[in-house]
């Protein structure tokens, strides 16, 4: 089945707009949506530039950001020096689980802050509540990711 290029382009821009509204920068959002909507889930820098009508520098910066966020991976084309950028079906899972390390760092910093400011001061109580929130979120994410693994295997067999 041949995809309608205009329909794909409309999807890319529409989904990218949703990602931008949620806080992602515009170019990484467009790159991510373009990769997500490609049949292989992987495109070269030149292919991304052509599809989105953007410069190689724009693609490079956006891909660097997405890779740091664990939303895309880089791979070499066999027999070539060109890189392809890939988004996998479990990319959302990978991106969310990578946030766990960030949450752990925040928890450590907040614990230090509670100790420094004193747990009975207004600021210390506020930090304690913030710490409790992140501890709760951390536990919930771990439980949710386990439920997702079971659901994904049941639904998609992988």
Q: Where are the domains of the chain?
A: 5-86, 91-156
Burial of 78 (0-12, 13-18, 19+ CB in 10 A): exposed
State the pLDDT confidence band at 27, using cuts at 50, 70 and 90.
Answer: very high
3-state secondary structure of 75: strand
* Contact yes or no for 126/113 (Cβ under 8 A): no
Tell me: the pLDDT tens digits for 87-97? 987 777 777 77
pTM of the model: 0.74
Tell me: the pLDDT tens digits for 64-85? 999 988 889 988 877 777 889 9
Question: In whole angstroms, what is the distance from residue 113 CA to residue 149 CA?
Answer: 35
Class of 5-86 per CATH?
A: mainly alpha
The per-residue pLDDT for 16 is 96
* Contact yes or no for 110/134 (Cβ under 8 A): yes
The DSSP-derived string for 99-123 is HHHHHHHHHHHHHHHHHHH-TTSHH
């Amino acid at each position: 089945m041949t995809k309608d290029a205009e329909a794909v382009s409309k999807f890319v821009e529409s989904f990218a707009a949703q990602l931008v509204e949620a806080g992602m920068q515009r170019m990484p959002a467009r790159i991510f949506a373009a990769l997500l909507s490609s049949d292989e889930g992987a495109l070269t820098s030149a292919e991304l530039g052509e599809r989105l009508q953007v410069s190689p520098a724009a693609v490079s910066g956006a891909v660097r950001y997405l890779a740091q966020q664990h939303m895309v991976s880089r791979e070499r084309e066999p027999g070539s020096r060109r890189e392809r950028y890939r988004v996998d079906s479990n990319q959302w899972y990978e991106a969310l689980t990578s946030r766990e390390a960030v949450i752990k760092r925040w928890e450590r910093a907040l614990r230090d802050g509670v100790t420094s400011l004193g747990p009975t001061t207004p600021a210390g109580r506020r930090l304690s509540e913030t710490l409790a929130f992140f501890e709760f979120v951390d536990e919930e994410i771990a439980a949710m990711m386990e439920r997702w693994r079971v659901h994904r295997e049941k639904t998609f067999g992988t």
